[in-house]
Structure 1
Amino acid sequence: MPSKENGASHVSTSMYFLASNELFKSEKPYAFRFTLAEHGLPSSIPQTNMKMERRDDIIIDDIRGNEKMYTLEKNGFEVITHTSQIAYEDYYEPEKVKSYLQELEEVLKDRLKASHVQVFRYGLRKRHSEFPVSTGEAYEYDQPTSVAHVDTTPEELSKEITRQYGEEANSWLTKRCQWINIWKPLKGPLTDWPLAVCNAAVVDKVNDLEAADLLYPDLATENYQVYYNPNHEWHYLSGQEVSELMVFKQADHMMQSSLPGVPHCSFPNPFTPKGEAPRESIEARALVFYDD
């Protein structure tokens, strides 16, 4: 339950992590992101070789009022204030949302002193009123993710650069590049299933993260699944507003000594007022390049 200690809010909640498995010493974790039978593959193939463990003892600190203490350089994440020029309904219009994505490119370029920024993908999530209870049918929109993960690996980032730039990729691969995510609610203040981020400075690259393959009908990508570690420090921004961007790093393809990608996921929030509308959010992914 929520508690107050030394003026800071702490939420005690649940989260899912990758369960340890001796199998991973000889077989890479994987998960098919489509129904095998619908694509002519035998149903005898396991959909995944991963199992998740639920932890009900996760403490998430509220950084409200202390946002400036956390930075991309020191912690792998920070809050940036930006008021978009597009209206709520425009986020659901693919052509109109491009204006918001262009705004993000300028925000990141200015904040990180980057030479080039390209938002290459975005996604909308709109929680069904019955989630996390399954309705038995496919949801119209993606739902909040309650499994801790990092969206990519340094190796996968290099592949993404190749996918995005094709024949010009070699020149881009000579530059330092970061994969940066930008997350915000579409309506605020948000308390329903908010985003939690883990302080990257306390993440053990070797022991906390496990590279896994995500298999789609036309693409195989790699991300990091996360093992539970009691030393992890989880944070969120209570009552996050539409103008408050949670910006967090996922990979840096040329700086092996830099902070790892930020584990993140959403969580059931006991602070959520009764009757609050289900969460709606947008997350964008950007390639951020530097000349030096």
Structure 2
Amino acid sequence: MRAVKAILLALLLGWAFAALADVAVPQLTGRVVDRSGTLSSSDVAALSQKLSDFEKRKGSQIAVLIVPTTDPETIDQFSIRVAEAWKIGRKKVDDGAILVVAKNDHHLRIEVGYGLEGALTDVTSRRIIDEVVTPKFRTGDFAGGISAGVERMMRVVDGEPLPVPSRSVNFGNLENIGPIIPVTLFASFIIGGILRTLLGQLLGSVATGSLIGVLALFFVGSVGVAVIVGFIGFFLAFIADLFPKSTGPSRGGSWSSGSSSGGWSSGSSSSDSGSFSGGGGSFGGGGASGSW
């Protein structure tokens, strides 16, 4: 009996420590919550007013959260927990978005509700981060970067497309290519075999490379990685007939990614007098993350 009690106590203590390790989601006290002391009171007031005017005109809600760190939790995990707790956006419309900045980690994320995923797509969110927000962050202009990022998010929700990318393509962080390689090999030989049978060697290989490139762009958000992986997919699919045939082609395939959790605490908060609350919107992990 003592052994059973000891085991139960150990499990309870383990669960308790795990709960304490989770990052505490800050209370939603306004459209702008700054737990890092980065923004001045005038910055918070101006940004909150801008977001309030947008909500009155459009109906959609956008909020900003700045924290010192999410370590050891990833910003992706932390942001979706914030979204689930705050419920930004109207209920059943799900038209909310949150810009989350982990200042000390040099990480940020745009978390997008279901109802805005058609406008603030993963690729669009990543472009806003890379082209609008992080260039200002790198110069230490956090207030300017956040304001510009929020402004561009509102304009995209209003229906204004992003400018055409400059001719100098940003190849992003090429270390992201590592996790894509196994998927590229699988798609090149398995899916490529099916497409070559249907379309012929050349067209089937081109279709395989294009499909792999699009998938890489969707999941990684880097044009450079998408181009490289797409070319690799085309090349492998094109030369696949040089290798011995297997007993038969298999169909389908999937892959996914995961992340971990952790915690932080303390810091001051800023708000617009506690008069703001989420409207009950739902989130499913749409958006994009970045760093500077």
Name the one with the larger strand percent: 1
Tell me the TM-score normalized by structure 2: 0.23
Tell me the TM-score normalized by structure 1: 0.23
